[in-house]
Structure 1
Amino acid sequence: MEYIIKTNDLKKNYRSFKALDGLSLNVPKGSIYGLVGRNGAGKTTFFRILCGLQEPSSGDYEIYGVKNNDRGIMKSRRRMGAVVETPSIYLDMSAQQNLKYQCRMLGLPDYSCVDELLKLVGLANTGKKKAKNFSLGMKQRLGIAIALVGEPDLLILDEPINGLDPQGIVEMRELILKLNREKEITVMISSHILDELAKLATYYGFVDHGRVVREMSAEELENTCRKCIRMEVTDTAAMARVLDGMEVEYKILSETTADVFAKLNFSKLSEALAKENCEVISMNEHDESLEGFFISLVGGGGND
């Protein structure tokens, strides 16, 4: 597998506070990589380091195979667009003026990309309207358009749906999917709205206290959080014997609770359990959300 970003034991200290504490991750080419973590977990600090806005205290990272202490890192960063913390837009300029200014900043020979980018992010008809009069969703989309000037292969988005209304969230989701699927842009995105992130990401990195506690593909996560029947019985040891005999996959959670990963004839199951002196107390369809999985992975405490 080809990786666009690789980090190794990345650390960032602010006096006694460790914003990053040995963060190591790998971002596959062509993925939508969801960086999952609570506020204060180190996500924004990591993005700022990738963009060259801050230096790590120790450790190293690579962008397109070029290490951060190599002269070629600036060339690699030119292949990257980013919206970190808040969109970098000029509020007294129109969307078109903002993009033209970015073209000049990057030394592009003309403004041929401007109209296409405005159309791509849904801002083609904003005319001379100043950005200060845009909705939050429009400002976010303009920030992404600015980040796309120069045709980057990699896009970094820090909480892009934070504060958006439901319609704005849908529009942002559709835009990110379009950039990934049609423009073949690798996207690295952080969000604390985890169930919304689950509709986008193809790969995940779970961050807690400045380090990655687990990386996994969306397929692996789906298998981990797959639907099941959660059953409460009087004796899961007896239930295990019955399910083993039926060649059914299950997971014992406690002395009285188990998850069953199969469609069952519950009349036959209840009859078989009764022969083992085991009673069914309750059963419910269950599937773990991304948020539930994250909490089980890092615990329910805060980062404060």
Structure 2
Amino acid sequence: MDWIRSQEEIESELFQIEQSFFNSMVSYDKAIDYCQNVLEFYRAMVVAQGFPDEATEIQFFKKDKPFLFGLLLQYTHQLSFELEFPNISYGRNEDIVNEKIEEVTTFLSNHKDVVLYLELQSESFDSQFFLRKNKGLFIHPGHHNYSFDSEFCTSHDGLIANILGYQGFLQFLQLKLSTTMPYFQTPIPKIIWTQSKIALTELGFALFYSGAFNHGNASLKSIIQLLEKVTGTDLGDYHHTAIRIRNRSNRTKFMDKLKISLQHWMADLDD
């Protein structure tokens, strides 16, 4: 099914949209439009072509559609927040962010069984959750204003999208809260990245695909942003850098160096 866009392609398009507008609310609105357009394209293809087998259908409604729909809901939450609270600053407005965080965590807690199902990469209920023929067994009502025809829904793909959307929105709120807090009295040691940017990008992609953060639910973008903040390094268009990494003769050059360095350290201890 070559019409399905990869997560990397979608994140790259959304990154370009966010970088194209100084006003965050405008960028969120444009990102919502992008997600809606791709979802409508998906819907048309599913209705017209269907799926070659049940495994492909499960993959689409468990991974592909919820990933994109979750981003749509995340940007919708962020846009609504910015419209309602445009001038968040430290002090009274800190309570507003905490209240929103409590709302999000309550939703995730209420659906912790499904969150755990995703985190453990379970498959035991996939046929019940992500095949359209079984959607009558249980239908999650959803917490959004978007609806799709019956040929484009299963019992749980909307719930998964809501979970992913709220998880992304939670990261947004936590970042918002951290920027409203006063600086700590104890200074944070300054760490300077002295390897290449391509090496740091390689590390970021390795951390993302290994599922090292949030039980594998942290987005690639959030991991890259974390590395940029910690090291003070601007990684720019990291998706383009990833293409360069893939085209190298040794695709895991920096990972190999880390492994060899650690092995040398342990060998020295053994001597």
Greater Rg over alpha carbons, structure: 1
Q: What interval of TM-score do these two structures reach, taking the shorter chain for normalisation?
A: under 0.3
The two structures have a TM-score, normalised by structure 2, of 0.26
- Which structure shows the bigger proportion of residues in helix conformation? 2
- Which structure shows the bigger proportion of residues in strand conformation? 1
The two structures have a TM-score, normalised by structure 1, of 0.24
